[in-house]
Amino acid sequence: MLDPCDKCEEVMQPFLDGTLSDAEVAEAQRHLERCSWCAKRYRFEDRLRHYVRVAVSEPMSAELKARLAALRTPL
């Protein structure tokens, strides 16, 4: 049998994606209510996704693009 925290880790991304069945969502939510470690990990992943969405929606300045291009190394 899979440890509840291992199971939670396994379904974290699908849970955040909204692709779990209702029963799987209920199981994950129950675990998150009881396990502070997994709840903390969930909050981190949720915030990270938010920051990534914001970062990709904001246009990059020409100066930043130039600085990043300067960091490229040839293959």
Angle at 11 between CA 5 and CA 7, to 5 degrees: 30
Output the pLDDT for position 4: 87
Output the pLDDT for position 28: 94
What confidence category does residue 60 fall into, taking pLDDT thresholds of 50, 70 and 90? confident
Phi/psi at 70 (5° precision): -65, -25
What confidence category does residue 29 fall into, taking pLDDT thresholds of 50, 70 and 90? very high
Mean pLDDT calculated for residue range 13-20: 95
Mean pLDDT calculated for residue range 57-70: 88
Q: What is the mean pLDDT of the chain?
A: 91
Q: Are 32 and 15 in contact (CB under 8 A)?
A: no
Q: Are 4 and 29 in contact (CB under 8 A)?
A: no
